[in-house]
Structure 1
Amino acid sequence: MHDHHPAHTGATIRPVSRRTHELPAAVRGHPRLAAYVRESYSVHRRTDLGDDLAASLRAWQLLMPDDGCFTALTSAALRGWWLPPIPAGAPVFMAMGLDDPRPIRAGVRTSRHTRPIAFECIGGVRAASVPETLLSCARWLSLVDMVVLMDCVLQRGECTGREIEAVVRPRRPGAAPLRRALALADRRSESAYETLLRLLHVLCGIEVEPQYVVVDEDGVVVARADLRIAGTQALHEYDGDEHEEAPRRVRDRRRDRDIERAAHVRRGYTAGDVLHRSGSVLRDAERSLGLAHDPGRIRPWLAELRKSLFTPSGQAEFVRRANPRLPVRERGATA
């Protein structure tokens, strides 16, 4: 028997009869409750939990079996790592078993594994372990992007190089690029753009010393610089937006004078210098080393940078590769 309401069409949103906090954080199906908002087809999250990543992933998690977990950039973002710019259209990355049913829908990229991937729960969300997250990221990200992630993990002490090497087995997807990124990683980096500035020099064949301690003639510590050009008194540093704020600017100028009195030369570079004017950074390093300018020296850096998510071309290629082509869904099919 069916109830008929000729004066009303469409789904009815029922008011919440229970206290919102007593409801499940996320549900499958099509709940007609004002307390839920749609995250994807047939998965909803509670509205009061907000729209941050963890709240969103609680809904997506319903599409996985109990031993499935989020991985790659999804896990990295949940963990709060330094990240390259994530483009619109980036999928949610999931790791599942070979025989687990795969969610066929837009916005999901699943990897299949012969045995369960190690994971830990972060705010009720299952995230692949740190080494497994890095290995999965290496399947999709460029060398530049991977070194940024790797530096963050090592700097925070979330993982060791030995633990990363333990997941690098022959034939595992991402193993080769992960090894290459690990060889270039340095735990002394303190930000994503410090990493980029260091990589710019290293890929151009310029040896640098990170976190160099400057002392005056009496041996008193004057400053700790992001990078020193090896064999010189030249210091190259990344200057973020916070350096433009008045109180910080005053301290920076005082520090600059102290560095100069200690017979060193400091050069500060912005994100724009690193990403768009890297040739000028290289020329400064060449001048400090007494080298003639070689236009070919910058090419390895530019080639790697173009593949990264720090550039429009790298973002477009990532979105193209990371989003699977979906089969045409037949009318009435479910997922």
Structure 2
Amino acid sequence: MPVFASVQGHRRPRRPGLICSRLVREPEACLVEGLPVDTPEEILLRAARDLGTVDLVIMIDSALERGDLDPAAMERMLESGRPGVGPLRAAYGLATARCESAGETLLRLFHTAMDIPVEPQVTLRDGVGRKIGRADLLLTGTTLVHEYDGAGHRDKIQHRVDLRRERGWAGTPYVRRGFTLDDLLNHPAVVMHELDRTLDRPHLIKRLRKWRRMVDNSLYAEPGRARIVNRWRRQMGVVDWSGTA
């Protein structure tokens, strides 16, 4: 990973290991634990010049969930016409403050690519209105609960909590299904067919192609990683392309 920096003025250093941006306006810095850093909106804009939609949505979801983004500042940024605004605007339109992990965001984006509307972080209640839990994703208009099962769910204590939670759903109409990173990245066609059968609708290959394009353009896939590394090499002035094919 290169080191990213910014300078003011007409000259900027260019060497392997460093990507330096030349600022044309006075930077608007904020303090984080006593250190001056760019605002979250500026950081996202800089990331949008390199990263794919999936990566950007994960970053924006996290910033929204933590309350780091200023909506007014973000709108001003999206209206600025600066480099990176187009990809940032597209990702911002897919983002939500209601996802609590990168895995949840990835699962939500998969459903979006599959044309399945979902509601993230929904509080579930039984027939008498008693709270029985909260779902990562609830398929809109159904009682189907889809959740991301990351490595944390295999922890002994968390596994016990999950089992108690699922037993609490007994006698309710809610049906839970768990999905892993391997499902979403390596077996998306299988998952798509499962969802299509559940929703009693035909398979459309264009949905699968859309998802694979999104993944291939992200850091989750080798083509996406190669693309961004080659881009950074060009920006650093590295012209040795051996081993990148």
Structure-2-length-normalised TM-score: 0.90
**Alpha-carbon distance in structure 2 between the residues aligned to 1:303 and 1:142:** 10
Distance 1:315 1:152 in 2: 21
The answer as to 2:81 corresponding to 1:134 is no
Residue type matched to 1:191 in 2?
S
* Structure 1 gap segments, 5+ residues each: 1-89, 329-335
Structure number with the bigger relative contact order (C-alpha 8 A, sep ≥ 6) is 2
| Aligned positions, number | 238
- 1:194-232, Cα deviation, whole Å (9 max, x unpaired): 000000111221111111221111111111000011121
For structure 2, the 5+ residue unaligned runs are: 240-245
The match for 1:17 is: none
Matched, 1:201 2:108: no
Counterpart selection for 1:167 from 77, 100, 118: 77
Q: Distance in 2 between matches of 1:314 and 1:186?
A: 24
Cα distance, 1:188 vs structure 2? 0.1
Distance in 2, matches of 1:172 and 1:290, equals 45
1:265 to 161, 170, 175: 175
Query: What's the offset of the Cα at 1:291?
Result: 1.2
Distance 1:109 1:298 in 2: 35
> Quick one: which amino acid aligns to residue 8 of structure 2?
G
Please report how far the alpha carbon of residue 304 of structure 1 lies from its aligned counterpart in structure 2 after TM superposition: 0.9
Equivalent AA in structure 1 for residue 197 of structure 2: R
Which residues in structure 2 correspond to 1:62-73 (within 5 Å)?
Answer: none
Deviating more after overlay: 126-135 vs 247-256: 247-256
Aligned counterpart, 1:277 = 187
Structure 2 match to 1:94: 5
1:112 deviation in Å? 1.9
Deviation sequence 1:59-97 (CA, Å, 0-9, x none): xxxxxxxxxxxxxxxxxxxxxxxxxxxxxxx21122222
Find the counterpart in structure 2 of residue 241 from structure 1. Answer: 151
Task: Give the 3-state SS of the residue equivalent to 1:127 in structure 2.
Answer: strand
Say if 1:121 and 1:170 are closer, same or farther in 2 by CA, change over 3 A. Answer: closer
Give RMSD over aligned pairs. 1.9
SS in structure 2 at match of 1:211 = strand
SS at the partner of 1:209?
strand
Using the TM superposition, give the Cα deviation of residue 150 of structure 1 relative to its aligned residue in structure 2, in angstroms: 0.2
How far apart are the structure 2 equivalents of 1:325 and 1:252? 47
Distance between the aligned counterparts of 2:196 and 2:172, measured in 1?
Answer: 22
Between the aligned partners of 1:241 and 1:199, the Cα distance in structure 2 is: 20
Residue 26 of structure 2 corresponds to 116
Change over 3 Å in CA distance of 1:222–1:174 after alignment to 2: same
Separation (CA, whole Å) in 2 of partners of 1:165 and 1:102: 29
Tell whether the 8 Å contact from 1:233 to 1:264 is kept in structure 2 after alignment: yes
Q: More displaced, 204-213 or 137-146?
A: 204-213
Distance 1:145 1:260 in 2: 37
Structure 2 distance, partners of 1:327, 1:214, is 54
Change (3 A) 1:149 1:278: same
Check whether the contact 1:214–1:259 (CA below 8 A) recurs between aligned residues: no
| Cα distance in structure 1, aligned partners of 2:104 and 2:238 | 43
1 CA distance for matches of 2:66 and 2:74?
14
1:222 is the counterpart of 2:132: yes
Residue 148 in structure 1 maps to residue 58 in structure 2:
yes
Query: Cα distance, 1:233 vs. partner?
Result: 1.2
- Partners of 1:181 and 1:244 in 2: how far apart? 31
> Once the two structures are superposed, what CA deviation does each residue of 1:12-61 show, in whole Å capped at 9, x if it has no partner?
xxxxxxxxxxxxxxxxxxxxxxxxxxxxxxxxxxxxxxxxxxxxxxxxxx
User: Is contact 1:94–1:109 with CA below 8 Å preserved after alignment?
Assistant: yes
Query: Is the contact made by 1:232 and 1:289 (CA closer than 8 Å) also made in structure 2?
Result: no
Q: Percent identity?
A: 37
SS at match of 1:135: helix
CA contact 1:138–1:178 (8 Å) conserved in 2: yes
Amino acid at match of 1:116: E
Give distance in 1, aligned partners of 2:236 and 2:98.
40
Q: Which residue of 1 aligns with 2:243?
A: none
1:232 equivalent among 118, 142, 156: 142
